[in-house]
Structure 1
Amino acid sequence: MTVLAKGVAALDLRGRIVSEVVRITDADDSLEAVQFVFADGQSLTITVWTDWRLMVELRSEAVVPDYLWPVEDRTCTAIAGLSGAEKVVREVVSTLNDARVLVEVLFSLDGRSLLVKSFGGDLILELG
């Protein structure tokens, strides 16, 4: 598995086709990451890092990242309405805080919005 891009550079996704969006949770069902799986097999994973910023990685395949340890304790669940039907990424808007740290990303997928943000060290997912 190869990391193709990290951070804001990984968010250059306009026109990419999403085959599913997945919630990655821990044993307590707490949201650990959101993963976009693309039609070509690549994936974009977003999680909150230790300093409360969003960590974003574009990878060559869809796997649970090893920094979500232990990997075998993580559960992947497809998000209804964003999986199975291919959706095109129309827009990606990232928000930086005053310290120029990535804290929020808004995705527009064929008329559906999906907001992923860091709040108080927690990963928040809001569907519109």
Structure 2
Amino acid sequence: MTVLAEGLDALDLRGRIVSEVVRIADADDLLEAVQFVFSDEQSLALTVWTDWRLMAELRSDAVVPEYLWPVENRTLTAIEGFAGAGKAVGEVVPRLNDAGMLVEVRIVLDGRPILVKSFGGDLILELG
């Protein structure tokens, strides 16, 4: 695995083709990350970091990130309506908090928004 970009640099995604959007959960089915898998097998992983910011990581693979330990206790579930035929990223809108940290990203795939945000240390996913 290679990290290609982090933070706001990882969100330079306009025009990329997403083959699926995956929910990564722990053994209690609590959402830990959202992963956008691209047609070239790269991925964007979004998760809440220890300082409660939203961590965005563009990766060279589409597996569970190793910091979600133990990896074998994580489940990946494709989000219905965002799997199968490739969907183009049309818009990416990040939101920063007062300290300049990334806390929210809205990604629009073929006109359908997906909002991923950090709120009180929890990862929130809202589908439009």
Q: TM-score range by the shorter chain?
A: over 0.9
Answer yes or no: is 1:117 the counterpart of 2:103.
no
Letter matched to residue 88 of structure 1: A
Aligned length: 128
Q: Which residue in the other structure is 1:12 paired with?
A: 12
Point out 4+ residue stretches in structure 1 off by more than 6 angstroms: none
Describe the SS at the equivalent of 1:29.
coil
Q: Deviation per CA, 1:36-79: give whole Å up to 9, x if none.
A: 00001100000000110011110111010110000000000000
Matches within 5 A, 1:6-85: 6-85=6-85
Shift of residue 85 of structure 1?
Answer: 1.7
Q: What SS is found at the alignment partner of 2:83?
A: coil
- Larger % of strand: which? 2
**What runs of 5+ residues in structure 1 fail to find an aligned partner?**
none
Give the root-mean-square deviation of aligned CA atoms: 0.4
Sequence identity percentage: 77
Paired residue type of 2:59: R
Give the partner amino acid of 1:86: G
Per the alignment, in what secondary structure is the counterpart of residue 85 of structure 1? strand
**What are the ranges of 5 or more consecutive residues in structure 2 without an aligned counterpart?**
none
Tell me the SS of whatever aligns to 1:106: strand
Distance 1:83 1:65 in 2: 20
Q: Normalising by the residue count of structure 1, what TM-score does the alignment of the two structures yield?
A: 0.99
Secondary structure at the residue paired with 2:72? helix
The DSSP-based 3-state class of the residue aligned with 2:76 is strand
Measured against aligned partners, the alpha-carbon deviations of 1:67-101 in whole angstroms (never above 9, x if no partner) come to 00000000000000000121000000000000001
Q: Which amino acid aligns with 1:60?
A: S
TM-score (norm 2): 0.99
AA partner of residue 98 (structure 1) = D
